[in-house]
Structure 1
Amino acid sequence: MKEIKIRVVTQNQVSQIFKNNNDFILNIVEDALRKWANDDAKLPDKISQIFDQNTQNRINCMPATIIPDKVSGMKWVSVFPANAPKGVQNVSGILLLSEIETGFPVAVIDGTLETRVRTAAVGTVAAKYLAPKNPRTIGFLGSGEEARMHFALLKHTFPTIEKCYVASRKSASEESFISELKEAAKDVEFIACNADYSLAASSADIIVTAISGQVPLLKAKDVKSGTLYIHVGGWEDEYAVALKANKIVCDDWNASKHRTQTISRMYMEGILKDEDIYADLAEIITGKKLGREKDDEFIYFNSVGLSFIDLNFANEIYKQACKLGLGQEVMLTETDAISYKNFI
């Protein structure tokens, strides 16, 4: 029997790898989507165990394979929106990485920070192709961890952003958002909207909804022409928002259509059809379809989360951890560790 060692990489160590490395983060997303477009990735169906239909408390099992890199694995991630009122994070997870020459596991990696970073990175990569030129204002509906990560990566990508509106159910959360980010973005004017979601959206060149609940907060009347809307979670906008869009782009429509997001609900109710979806993001990145073509286009971007992107992150984190000496090696299986007589 072969000895099997795995590398355990903690959240702090993942943070060390990501720190001041935004281009590395964004490149992982684009690389994964190009591999997907070239049929170099496998995306089995996600298994989602929903424990409460109202809150959408759930645990997802998300497998994937990246063929050229000879790795396979999965993300095991819990999404518990009901945690928010308790003051507890609503997303936590781990990444499991295996090589596919012998099939042995090689790493277990914290997936909580990776999920936060990956989600914002996908939205930011989409914005690279879909946002208006030189956006100056950004509006957030929701002010939690995901909103903050989106701001960080979007500001890195669009240094022209000079004004940020933030609306949340609690003014303390808005102030916390501003307090955490204003020192790092001194050239940005932050505006707390006191739960006025209309104010946060109506002046924004880029709108991001990142809320923990299932409430259609974004209204079509508050979306101006030329805006990019980044839809992060579940049901965050009224149906009229999608119907107003000149283009609807998804990270992957086939992975989205049977979920509980706004456009997924519209599809299942017969309001949207397959042909109403303009493109998947990989088609735009690879040049098969154009991104933004006109200044006055309103573009709706929907992200459901794709496990092959998570797996690409896991593989790059693992490689960096090995290079930098991060993580702890654990002997998972020792040679001849099994003595069958002990089972008699």
Structure 2
Amino acid sequence: MTAPVYLTDDEVRRTTLPIGELADALVPAFRKRSEGVVMMPAKTGMHPSGSDAYFHSMPALVPGVAAGVKWVAGSPSNSSRGLAHIHAHLILSNVETGAPIAVVEAGYLTGLRTAALSLLAARSLARPEAKRLGFIGCGFQARTHLQAFAEEFPVRQVALYGPRRQSVTAFEEHVADCYDLETVACSHPGEVLAASDIVVTTVPAHRDLEGFLDARVLPEGAFVSMVDLGRSWDATTVGKFDRCLTDDLEQSAALAHNNAAFSAMSFSGDLSGLQTGDVEGRRSASERIAFLFPGVALADIVAGQMVLERVRATPGR
């Protein structure tokens, strides 16, 4: 039996997988999910008492692609330790034989697939003329989301807010180096919400975090991608969204107890419904729409297989 391939984060990064291309590849996977042929139990987690560390297991089987599981663990305190917030590995197996195909370091991969999920939602739910991006949290996920949205929307301005000035400055420099966009560093998160057509919130979880974002500040027509599971949002204000959607209704129902904002949301559909047409996309220019999502393993499987195929096609590999 051929030994499984091991791919490092650097090798994944060097494939330069376009986020839009990954979003395209997720469309048939979500349609298969709606047909009931994708197997995807809800993610399971362990959260040790007295610690802010977490450990999650995310399995899925996508027919025609691969079966696999992502093991993702981390701690919001890792930044003070000089470590990445998230550590993740993806194991891919042959659907027919169960033989291992690859083990993929999935830190960078997770950033790509998360941005691809947000982009897939935004294609149906954000206003196509959206020009102003807003970020609450300025870490790695903010960078991949900027890449995704700047490629497909006529972005002209990026508003930023983060609790750590160092991260905000680093993100400003990244925007200046890689994009021809105006940046506005805000002293209060409400300024970002009020000035944005698309908002991405990526605030890491920690024991003392209380929701501080007020949905009432958002302008008409805003689309919000809650990468942080809504934990940065004041749960008493999320009712001001006209609609809230998620990536997978079944999994989100199983995980809704995770935080107050998540529990307060009433989901009107998911990505599978949007791809099949069973769920409407944006219905008016004035709708305020939230996309709150815990992430789905089927997206990790698709992304991992695409990266593996790109690596195998590299001369000399």
Residue 30 of structure 1: how far off its partner (Å): 2.4
Q: Distance in 2 between matches of 1:168 and 1:162?
A: 20
Amino acid at match of 1:253: L
Q: Distance in 2 between matches of 1:300 and 1:90?
A: 25
Residue equivalent to 1:297:
287
| Superposition deviation, residue 39 in structure 1 | 2.4
Q: Distance in 2 between matches of 1:307 and 1:106?
A: 17
How far does residue 87 in structure 1 lie from its aligned partner after superposition?
3.8
TM-score, structure 1 as length reference: 0.85
- String of CA shifts for 1:17-50, please: whole Å, max 9, x gaps: 225x333222233232222123231102322111
| Native 8 Å contact 1:130 1:292 kept in 2 | yes
**CA distance in 1: counterparts of 2:184 and 2:81, whole angstroms:** 26
1:34 corresponds to: 31
Question: Which residue is equivalent to 2:46?
Answer: 49
d(CA) in 2 for partners of 1:304 and 1:53? Answer: 23
Q: In 2, distance between residues paired with 1:184 and 1:175? A: 14
Q: In the alignment, which residue of structure 1 is the partner of 2:183?
A: 190
Match of 2:245 among 241, 246, 249: 249
Partner Cα distance (2:295, 2:311) in 1: 24
**Cα 1:179–1:92 shift into 2, 3 Å:** same
Contact kept? 1:95, 1:108, Cα under 8 Å: yes
- Residue 159 of structure 2 corresponds to which residue in structure 1? 165
The aligned counterpart of 1:6 is 4
TM-superposed deviation, 1:172: 2.1
CA distance in 2, matches of 1:313, 1:110: 12
Q: Pick closer, same or farther for the CA change 1:38–1:257 going to 2, 3 Å.
A: closer
Question: Does 1 or 2 have the higher relative contact order (CA < 8 Å, sep 6+)?
Answer: 1
Supply the AA of the counterpart residue of 2:185: A
Task: Quote how far apart the aligned CAs of 1:286 are.
Answer: 1.6
The one-letter amino acid of 1:31's match is: P
TM-score (norm. length: structure 2): 0.92
Deviation at 1:107, TM superposition (A): 0.8
Compare 94-103 and 44-53 and name the one that shifted more. Answer: 44-53
| Map 1:259-298 → 2, pairs under 5 A | 259=255, 260-266=258-264, 276-298=266-288
Question: Which stretches in structure 1 are left out of the alignment for 5+ residues?
Answer: 267-271, 328-344
Give the superposition deviation at 1:193. 1.1
Counterpart pick for 1:177 among 166, 171, 179: 171
Matched, 1:112 2:82: no
Structure 2: which amino acid aligns with 1:180?
A: H
Q: Choose the corresponding residue for 1:59, options 50, 55, 58.
A: 55
Deviation at 1:262, TM superposition (A): 4.2
Structure 1 SS opposite 2:133: strand
Shift in Å, 1:185: 1.2
**Count of aligned pairs between the two proteins:** 311
Root-mean-square deviation (Å): 1.9
Unaligned ranges ≥5, structure 2: none
| Sequence identity (%) | 23
Decide whether aligned partners of structure 1 residues 110 and 31 sit closer, same or farther in structure 2, where only a CA change above 3 A counts: farther
State the one-letter code of the partner of 1:242: V
